[in-house]
Amino acid sequence: MLNTVFMPELALMLTVLVLFFMTLGKFRTGTIQAVSLLLTAITLAVTFASLNTQGNMFYDAYQIDALSQLFKVVIVSGLFLVFGLGRSLVGVKDGLHTEYNMFLAISALGLMFLSSSVELLTILLSLEISSYALYVVIPFRRGQGRIHVEAGIKYILFGAVSTGITLYGMSYVFGMAHTTYL
């Protein structure tokens, strides 16, 4: 029997990988959007197909249940909606449409990891995967490049401070509970 516990994440990883290899070539914006929508639709179908699966992975640090699968459906549906509504991508610089879609998919992948994480370190890593992908997307905006780069740097610094505070709080939880599992 095929174990479909980790299939939604693998399908989205495949989407990210295909978009990564698409960055090596020159494609029209319509082609990029069509491929992004198609791969996200496949990921959504895989996520719906594995909706009733349950299990634990990675020494019980990653738990798949009905609630986490429901959140994965919501996350992938949101990504599909963003790709569908972002066909023109007016605010993104020319030539960066593939990277924009790839980093949004990486952020969604981090959120999918977060929905199944039941251990403090996997929660932190999932949040960081999701956040770093969005840090990169900020300077992609069209217009005055310096302002967008400055906004990206401020976003990274704010994220670093919040990560430090989160780690400090998690150390208190670990000190009191003597475990990193929730």
Report pTM.
0.91
Q: Beta strand pairing status for 55-57 and 62-64?
A: antiparallel
Question: For 5-52, how does the pLDDT look when each residue is reduced to its tens digit (9 = 90+)?
Answer: 889 999 999 999 999 999 998 888 888 899 999 999 999 999 999 988
Residue 76 CA: distances (Å) to CA of 83, 122, 146, 151: 10, 20, 32, 27
| Pairwise CA distance, residues 179 & 177, whole Å | 5
Contact 39, 77 (CB under 8 A): no
Question: For 86-131, how does the pLDDT look when each residue is reduced to its tens digit (9 = 90+)?
Answer: 777 677 777 788 898 999 999 999 999 999 999 999 999 999 999 9
